[in-house]
Amino acid sequence: MVFSSYKFIFLFLPVTAIGYAILKKIKKPNVIKLWLIAASVVFYSWGQISFLPVFLSTLLLNYVFIKIIGSTEKRFTRTLFLVLGILEGLSLLFFYKYFNFTLYTMNRFFGADFLLREIILPLGISFYTFQIMTYLIDVYKKEAPVYPVMDYLLYVTFFPQLIVGPIVRHSQFMPQLETDSVLKSNKERIAKGIVIFSIGCAKKILIADPLITYALSYYGADGGSTLQAWLATLSYTFAYYFDFSGYSDMAVGLGNFFNITLPFNFNSPYKARNMADFWRRWNISVSNFFDDYVFRSIFRFGDRSIKLILATLITFLVSGIWHGAGWNYILWGIANGILVACVNLATLHRIKLPSIIAYPLTGICIVLTRVLFDSRSFTQIKQTFSLMFSLSAETLSQIPQFLSENVETAALILLSCIICWVFKNTREIEKSFKLTPKWAIFSALLIVLSLMNMGKVSNFLYFDF
Amino acid sequence: MSFKKWISVFAICSILFVGVWAAANILVDPFGIFGDTLLDYSEYSMTQNPRIAKIAYLDKNHEKYDSYVIGCSKTSSFPTDTLNRYFDAEFYNMIMYGGDLYDIEKTVEYILENYGAKNIVVGIGLEEAKEYGGESDSFKGNLHAKLDPSQNTLGFYFKYLFLNPEYAKDKIESYKNRAYLISADEVFVPETGAYNKSRRDAAKIQKLSKYLELNPDFTGNTWNNEIPDSDKCVDALARIKAMCENNGTNLVLIACPVYEKEMRCYNAEQVKEYYKKIAEKVDFWNFSGYTDISFDARYFYDSLHFRNCVGDMMLARIFSDESVWVPENFGIYTTSKNKDEAIEKAFEEKSAPNNAKSLPVLMYHHFTEEDTGTGAVSRARLEEHLVSLIDAGYTPVSLSDIKSYTKKGTPLPEKPILITIDDGYSSALEIAAPVLEKYDASATVAVIGCSIGHTTYKDTDIPITPHFALEEALEYVEKGTLEITSHTWNMHEVEGLDGDNVRLGVLQKEGESEEEYLEYLENDFAKSKEALESAYGTNLDTLAYPHGKHSEISEVFLSQNGIEITFTTNYATNEIVKGIPQTLRLLDRITVDESVTGEKLIQLIEKAG
């Protein structure tokens, strides 16, 4: 189930919230936790029940591993179950996400003839696997206690963050359960939740979805013009931000309904001064995960520059692989690794570009790396770059006509620029939020506009006869 | 501000915005459910979902109709005026894309209960038997909740009340972009419910090989179709029959023609069994199977839909109208008594018949007594042409002959040829007509209206080749040597004589709006029609395009105004088909001048294909 759907907004959310409000009155935290866990399991299985066994088994199996690790001081046992837990998570990810890709690569580059299987990726697997893994590692490192099973289950399954994150750290989530914040009065937080949810919903429905439709008209097809390549890449650049950050905002908003604070996952990434800064602002929870568990396990303060470069490159290579099974994602990871490594080196040597160069340069890097991420093949990457850099006087003269033909997409991109560079981001709005009519009207407008555009538009059924 | 107040403001505003949203959908009404009061654009609503919008239309207007033709898209090819004529009734066409027998049954039930009906004509294909009661799309393929008990009425209106505004936007855009030629957004005529085929029926129909090449749908991949829901369909038809009997309504069930390739996608034994089961319950007219119609793709717009002219033939067969050509094996009345024999006969393997005729058309202009070196054809050369044609086996035919061939199937000579003379010069009467008469031949003269009887150019003193007056041609018209037709009134402009912005034939001028152009075209056509019809007492149904220039607008306009035959100046021969009068549109012509000898003329004709 997705948040931006009628079923979620008019059925799932009201039932879950009303149930929560009623159960709060009996003041038993575990009953509320059980209700939220049950609701989350329903949320996860809605329309995709076949993935539930995989999810529940990995969830429970890892809790057993965590329990064992937490209950013994024997190094061998602790290490064994840590390795088992990590292997279990990585095996799942490998099978569902990378198995076919590996076979395809072997067929393509080594002349093998493996038959590809039809494997459907279970919902949210990349996120919940990592979330469980971080907790497992932290228990192993004795940086986290073994929480009660109910808290653990709610931590992993809590529906607002289950499908696409943010990957919440136990240190952010568990203390809220320990203080029984789920029992507290949350009226103002509900209002705040409505505002943040409506902003997230509008970001996704009103901006990201139409931009994705345009971008797909280029990236989903073969060939196109220079201007199409530029507009489609810009569309994807903004669409990814509004789609992903919109979803994260909705998650944060929903958390507020249940008195649970989830971290914001974005912090105006397009205001970044350089690519390292960009990655500190983009998909923050995932960036932090790679920073803590990959980068820092290779590079430590005081290490030499070469190690810094190596750590950066490996971190982004792993990030690329995590983002998707395809060579384009690996290339995208390497490209980002190189760009961030350059920034890190420059920082190390106290080199700072003037703002007038730094900001546009960062923007260009973001847009160009987007081509690597969104292309379906190396051929398309090559073709898109070749189109984008074959700007001629004739092409430039076609811009007014092209924009008039794609006025809606162009207007959305302009609006996206204004929102990204002029307006406060959701995190800032949340901080300064007050119960004022302005926000009530604004969120009502956004939610109704989103609902209006949520309904599907049927294909044209006319038959020419 | 307290939370209570805040949430109240949020709720009130949300309700207000939702109200605006609903109001916009009610006003623009993309599916025609709420009265379509703002735009009154039923053509669009019916195209979006004919099942819903037609019922909404009929709820307000059903008093105007007493009979209904109901069925899937194949039913679109029963012209309501032909139905009205044969049944002496006022028909409304309830064609719905992909309509299955569930849709048909529910529609019949609603009509009989709410409007009453003298006649119900149900057209069925084979697709209905593939799935009974399926819904291709919950917005565009569903029935109106009033007809369909499986739909919750409140939910139905709620769905259309809170439509994605994209629908309303599309309707407004389509409304703004309306033009003379109908667009794909507005294919229904609200007043008759008929599918508007003004463009399809004005389109040129080429020789079969070219037609197949241009419409790859006819020769595309075949597929295997099962008809698992055939029993449900038979039961539905039995219920429809019972409903009609209870209401004293005349039910005519028609199994529609199926293109041979589509027919072969079904298991013939299953189809025969299906038809036999139908015949046990309801008598019906069977036009499917392998017939003289099913083999020639030109009787079909595409591989699934037969032409309106075929619909005319079917009704002519049902009503035994012998003035319309209908192949012998097309249409068998099938009952429980004759079902085995009738259905076996319909599915007998046959070879493709030849219902087409090659027709070269010659185009002359001016004639002279002697060769003047201007291209004008001399008397002697014209005689040479006629002798060569006759020697080569060609027989000059008239417009009436070719019309009769396409409409009534009246045989044409082995090698027919049509002679046309453009512009209406006096030489057509003084030189050509006597020569034609001598060889018992006939020709069609297309006259430029504003030049009739003139020796000077329009309102100037500039001398031109003399043009005959209409009454001067009367003698030859009465003898049948000449047929006089239109070359437009004043749309044969000449560079240098008609100012700077010369109109190219009947085409729209640069800078001229479509409205201005159509007004001009209409006036021009009216003048020609008035002059020619009052001079000869015949209906004007033929036009030769000046310079051969034409457009889709001109063809649709002329076809809507009774012009059945049009001529271009493209070098090619034509193929005309029995039962398809549209094959007389945009006939190509072979230009003939003095340089063309008799022998060369025959070569030109043969080379033109």
Q: How much is the average pLDDT of A35-40?
A: 93
Does the beta-carbon distance from B1 to A457 stay under 8 Å? no
Chain B residue with minimal CA distance to A187? Answer: B3
Per residue in A73-90, is it b (16+ CB within 10 Å) or e — as a string? eeeeebeebbebbbebbe
Q: How much is the average pLDDT of A234-243?
A: 93
Q: Which of B3, B165, B187 is opposite residue A462, by nearest beta carbon?
A: B187
Instruction: Quote the pLDDT of residue B222.
Output: 66
User: Looking at beta carbons, which residues of chain B come within 8 Å of A213?
Assistant: none
Does the beta-carbon distance from A445 to B17 stay under 8 Å? yes
Does the beta-carbon distance from B17 to A444 stay under 8 Å? yes
Alpha carbon of B535 to those of A3, A78, B79, B483: distances in Å?
Answer: 76, 110, 33, 12
Q: How far is A353 from chain B (nearest CA, A)?
A: 46
Q: How far is A4 from chain B (nearest CA, A)?
A: 14
Q: What are the tokens at B111?
A: 């009509």
Residue A2 pLDDT > 70: yes
Closest alpha carbon to B550 in B564, B565, B568:
B568
Residue A123 pLDDT > 60: yes
How much of chain B exceeds pLDDT 90, in percent?
Answer: 84
Catalytic residue among A42, A59, A323, A388: A323
Does the beta-carbon distance from B162 to A436 stay under 8 Å? no
Q: Which of A439, A447, A458 is opposite residue B137, by nearest beta carbon?
A: A458
Q: How much is the average pLDDT of B325-336?
A: 94
Residue A277 pLDDT > 80: yes
Tell me A458's DSSP state: P
Q: Which of B14, B141, B165 is opposite residue A447, by nearest beta carbon?
A: B14
Q: Which of B13, B302, B305 is opposite residue A440, by nearest beta carbon?
A: B13
Pairing state of beta strands B443-447 and B482-486?
A: parallel
Closest alpha carbon to B426 in B394, B464, B477:
B464
Helix (H) / strand (E) element for A234: namely helix A226-257
Burial class for A421, CB neighbours closer than 10 Å (0-12, 13-18, 19+) = exposed
Q: How much is the average pLDDT of A155-179?
A: 85
Contact B189, B276 (CB under 8 A): no
Helix (H) / strand (E) element for A116: namely none
Does the beta-carbon distance from A435 to B200 stay under 8 Å? no
Instruction: Quote the pLDDT of residue B139.
Output: 86
User: Looking at beta carbons, which residues of chain B come within 8 Å of A447?
Assistant: 14
Q: What is the pLDDT of residues B113-137, one digit of tens each?
A: 999 999 999 999 998 898 888 776 7
Q: What is the pLDDT of residues B157-194, one digit of tens each?
A: 999 999 999 999 999 999 999 999 999 999 999 999 99
In sequence order, the β-bridge partners of residue B252 are B121
Q: Which of A11, A188, A458, A459 to mutate to test the interface with B (most CBs of B within 10 A)?
A: A458
Confidence of residue A269 (pLDDT cuts 50, 70, 90): very high
Give the range among A223-232, A299-308, A425-434, B22-31 with minimum mean pLDDT: A299-308
Does the beta-carbon distance from A437 to B6 stay under 8 Å? yes
Query: Mean pLDDT, chain B, as a whole number?
Result: 93
User: Looking at beta carbons, which residues of chain B come within 8 Å of A462?
Assistant: 47, 97, 184-185, 187
Q: What are the tokens at A461?
A: 């059924």
Confidence of residue A185 (pLDDT cuts 50, 70, 90): low
* φ, ψ (nearest 5 deg) of residue B525: -65, -40
Residue B609 pLDDT > 50: yes
CA-CA distance, B549 to A12, in Å (whole number)?
Answer: 64
Residue A63 pLDDT > 90: yes
Q: How far is A239 from chain B (nearest CA, A)?
A: 20
Q: How much is the average pLDDT of B286-301?
A: 95
Q: How much is the average pLDDT of B5-32?
A: 94
DSSP A133-181: HHHHHHHHTTSS----HHHHHHHHH-HHHHTT-----HHHHHHHHHTTG
Contact B91, B65 (CB under 8 A): yes
User: Looking at beta carbons, which residues of chain B come within 8 Å of A9?
Assistant: none
CA-CA distance, A295 to A277, in Å (whole number)?
Answer: 16
The C-alpha angle with vertex B216 and arms to B214 and B220, in degrees rounded to 5, equals 170
More confident residue, A327 or B564: B564
CA-CA distance, B226 to B123, in Å (whole number)?
Answer: 20
A→B interface, C-beta within 8 Å: 187-188, 190-191, 194, 434-437, 439-441, 443-445, 447-449, 451-465
Decide: helix, strand or coil at residue B580.
strand
Residue A49 pLDDT > 90: no
Q: Which residue in the block uniquely carries the two structure tokens 């300064």?
A: A432
Residue A282 pLDDT > 80: yes
Give the range among A277-291, B519-533, B549-563 with minimum mean pLDDT: A277-291
Decide: helix, strand or coil at residue B351.
coil
Confidence of residue A182 (pLDDT cuts 50, 70, 90): low
Instruction: Quote the pLDDT of residue A429.
Output: 92
In the residue annotation, A349 being an active-site residue is answered as no
Q: How much is the average pLDDT of A139-165?
A: 89
Contact B334, B275 (CB under 8 A): yes
Q: Which of B2, B9, B258 to mutate to test the interface with A (most CBs of A within 10 A)?
A: B9
The strand ranges marked E within B2-129 are 67-71, 91-95, 119-124
Q: What are the tokens at A335?
A: 């490209």
In sequence order, the β-bridge partners of residue B253 are B122
More confident residue, B265 or A101: B265
Instruction: Quote the pLDDT of residue A458.
Output: 59
Task: Note the Cα A7 to chain centre separation in Å.
Answer: 22
Query: What is the value of ipTM here, to two decimals?
Result: 0.84
Q: Among A87-91, A299-303, B52-56, which range has the highest average pLDDT?
A: B52-56
How much of chain A exceeds pLDDT 70, in percent?
Answer: 97
Residue A459 pLDDT > 90: no
Does the beta-carbon distance from A190 to B162 stay under 8 Å? no
Instruction: Quote the pLDDT of residue A457.
Output: 64
CA-CA distance, B8 to B212, in Å (whole number)?
Answer: 66
**Could you tell me which residues come within 8 angstroms of residue A96 by beta carbon, excluding any fewer than 6 positions away?**
A119, A120, A121, A122, A125
Does the beta-carbon distance from B17 to A449 stay under 8 Å? yes
Does the beta-carbon distance from B3 to A460 stay under 8 Å? no
Q: Which long-range contacts (CB under 8 A, 24 or more apart) does A380-385 make?
A: A380/A219, A380/A222, A381/A328, A381/A331, A383/A223, A384/A229, A384/A233
User: Looking at beta carbons, which residues of chain A come within 8 Å of B195?
Assistant: 465
Q: What are the tokens at B313?
A: 């033939």
Closest alpha carbon to B312 in B330, B335, B294:
B330
CA-CA distance, B409 to B402, in Å (whole number)?
Answer: 9
**Stated pTM of the model:** 0.84
Chain B residue with minimal CA distance to A461? Answer: B140
Q: What is the pLDDT of residues A299-346, one digit of tens each?
A: 887 777 788 888 899 999 988 888 877 888 889 999 999 999 999 888
Alpha carbon of B430 to those of B383, B433, B442, B467, B536: distances in Å?
Answer: 14, 7, 14, 11, 19
Residue A465 pLDDT > 60: no
**Could you tell me which residues come within 8 angstroms of residue B557 by beta carbon, excluding any fewer than 6 positions away?**
B180, B518, B521, B522, B525
Contact B570, B360 (CB under 8 A): no
CA-CA distance, A375 to A220, in Å (whole number)?
Answer: 9
Closest alpha carbon to B72 in B157, B23, B141, B14:
B141
Confidence of residue B473 (pLDDT cuts 50, 70, 90): very high
Does the beta-carbon distance from A464 to B184 stay under 8 Å? yes
Confidence of residue A118 (pLDDT cuts 50, 70, 90): confident
Decide: helix, strand or coil at residue B313.
helix
CA-CA distance, A93 to A122, in Å (whole number)?
Answer: 10
Does the beta-carbon distance from B164 to A453 stay under 8 Å? yes
Residue B90 pLDDT > 80: yes
Instruction: Quote the pLDDT of residue A463.
Output: 47
Residue A460 pLDDT > 80: no
**Could you tell me which residues come within 8 angstroms of residue B176 by beta carbon, excluding any fewer than 6 positions away?**
none
Residue A360 pLDDT > 80: yes
Q: How much is the average pLDDT of B331-354?
A: 92
Instruction: Quote the pLDDT of residue A461.
Output: 47
Q: How much is the average pLDDT of B268-280?
A: 94
More confident residue, A73 or B339: B339
Q: How far is B207 from chain A (nearest CA, A)?
A: 20
Q: How much is the average pLDDT of B336-357?
A: 91
CA-CA distance, B274 to B257, in Å (whole number)?
Answer: 15
C-alpha torsion angle, residues A117, A118, A119, A121 (rounded to 10) = 150
